[in-house]
Amino acid sequence: MGAVCAAGSGVAAGSAAVYEGKDCLTPLSIFESGLKNAPLSGQIENLQDSYKSPNRTIALACIAASEALAAIKNRQGLSFGLVFATTVGGITRSELFYKAYKADVNAASRAAQELAYHEPCAASGFLCETFGLQGFFTLSTACSSGLHAVGMAKRLVEQDVFDACLAVGADALSLLTIRGFSSLMLIDPTGCKPFDRRRAGTSLGEGAAAMLVASEKTAETLGIAPLGHISGWGATADCHHMTAPHPTGEGAQKAVAAALSEAGLAAKDIDMIASHGTATPDNDRSEIAAMKAVFGGLPPFFSLKRTLGHTLAASGILEAVFAVCALREGVVPPTAGFEEADDNVGAAPSMCRKKTMRHFLKNSFGFGGNNAAAVFSLSNDAGAL
């Protein structure tokens, strides 16, 4: 697994911040947002890019992919694929170019170089070239993308399309997303407070995460011990509203049920929920309503949005990476930003605690009513992180 985010570069650094419930949000400074007050964001201030990446999203993806592949010494004769998930693709560079072009039409002469990596699939091509991957899919289902990428990678391996498949989710902070979420009044200027009575919106972040998905047989050939098992994946659509979640989370319930069914597990088998937990009033209420419908009494749950920011297409896989670490360590992470329970939500996230666990559920929900759920389990022969 690999990760880079506001909580640090590398899975170990990020996990430490997650277990601690650290608040890693800082006033946005990596670009001028044009907003009256710089919103608290999960930004990476000194991004170290040794890949000469053509844009920030690709730089983040390369850092995460590199860490996930670091343990592989020899993969000769094995085919490695990629499922890459992004929401913004190359917009960080395109929006700067467009601003310059609006100011001066002569900037058009730079269009070929500035827009060459605009398309989301340009990042996939770059990752394949950099890491020697043999095929790919580029997925963009907004905030649920990263978790769907994990599910797709699982299928591609199960169906022998690839011997191993790298799932990567990456999104850089951009003017488009900061101003877009702001226009929808979905950003809490004081920083997000998941599931809290005072919650007033989310906080955006940037980052990337990667998981190398392989069968046990391939893992053995590669000489690596599995860190966890992807037991089930569920995908549904709400068919309710373009941005608001279904009040009782019907689509989310069905996605969770599908993931549990594929995993061959019952709700009572789930030891922990790594929630989507964006901290918008509607989303948190809807997610808990859906989880109550599935689970009855909820297992311990947490949100990492105050620790990492909402990293959009990266969020599902990034938070799953840290939840896999938590599962292995037997730690239910705390929810930074949460202080006061909300009667309208009717459930409070867990305080940090130790617990023997075997399976956890990860939820991710996106614009357009797109729902992803996945169940992760401990492997019997789990390796060291």
Partner 1 sequence: MSLKPFSVRGFAAVVPASDSAWQAEIPAHLKRRDPRIWHMAYVAVARLLKDAAEPPRSMAVGTALGALDETKNFLDGIFKDGFGSPKNFIASVHNSMAGKLALEFKIDGPNLTLCDGQNSFASAVASCAMFPSSAFPCLVVAVDESVPLVNELVSHLSPACAAYLADSTREAAIALLLDRRALPQQPAIRAIGPVPLGSREPGALAQSLAARFEDNDTSPLVIPLESCRSFVSAPLLVHERLAAGQAGRFIVPSFSPSSKACAAVEICL
Q: Residues 217 to 236: which contact partner 1 by CB under 8 A?
A: 235-236
Residue 124 to residues 114, 171, 355, 384, Cα–Cα distance (Å): 17, 13, 38, 29
Structural tokens at position 102: 């609006």
Structural tokens at position 136: 């790919």
193-227 burial, b at 16+ Cβ within 10 Å, e below that, comes to bbbbeebbbbbbbbbbbbbbbbeeebbebbebebb
Of 5, 62, 128, 143, the active-site residue reads 143
Of 229, 246, 276, 359, the active-site residue reads 276
241 tagged catalytic: no
Query: Does residue number 368 form part of the binding site for partner 1 (CB under 8 A)?
Result: yes
Query: Does residue number 281 form part of the binding site for partner 1 (CB under 8 A)?
Result: no
Q: Residues 246 to 275: which contact partner 1 by CB under 8 A?
A: 251, 254, 258, 262
Min dist CB 35 to partner 1, Å, is 10
148 tagged catalytic: no
Q: Which of 71, 121, 200, 224 binds partner 1 (CB under 8 A)?
A: 121
Residue 109 to residues 60, 95, 104, Cα–Cα distance (Å): 28, 16, 11
- SS3 helix, strand, coil % of the chain, rounded to 5? 40, 20, 40
Nearest to 91 by CA among 25, 49, 31, 24: 31
Query: Does residue number 110 form part of the binding site for partner 1 (CB under 8 A)?
Result: yes
Q: Which of 240, 330, 341, 382 binds partner 1 (CB under 8 A)?
A: 240
Is the CB of residue 344 less than 8 Å from the CB of residue 282?
no
Nearest to 80 by CA among 72, 88, 90: 72
Stretch in the footprint of partner 1 (CB under 8 A) among 59-67, 108-116, 315-323, 340-348:
108-116
Min dist CB 122 to partner 1, Å, is 4
Number of residues that bind partner 1 (CB under 8 A): 68
118 tagged catalytic: no
Q: Is the dihedral of CA 91, 93, 95, 98 positive or negative?
A: negative
Question: Running DSSP on this structure, what letter comes out for residue 70?
Answer: T
Q: Which of 166, 175, 209, 290 binds partner 1 (CB under 8 A)?
A: 175
| Residues marked as catalytic | 143, 276, 310
Catalog residues that contact partner 1 under the rule CB under 8 A.
34, 87, 89, 91, 95, 98-99, 101-102, 108-112, 115-122, 124-125, 128-129, 133-142, 148, 151-152, 155-156, 159-161, 175-176, 179-180, 183-184, 235-243, 251, 254, 258, 262, 366-370
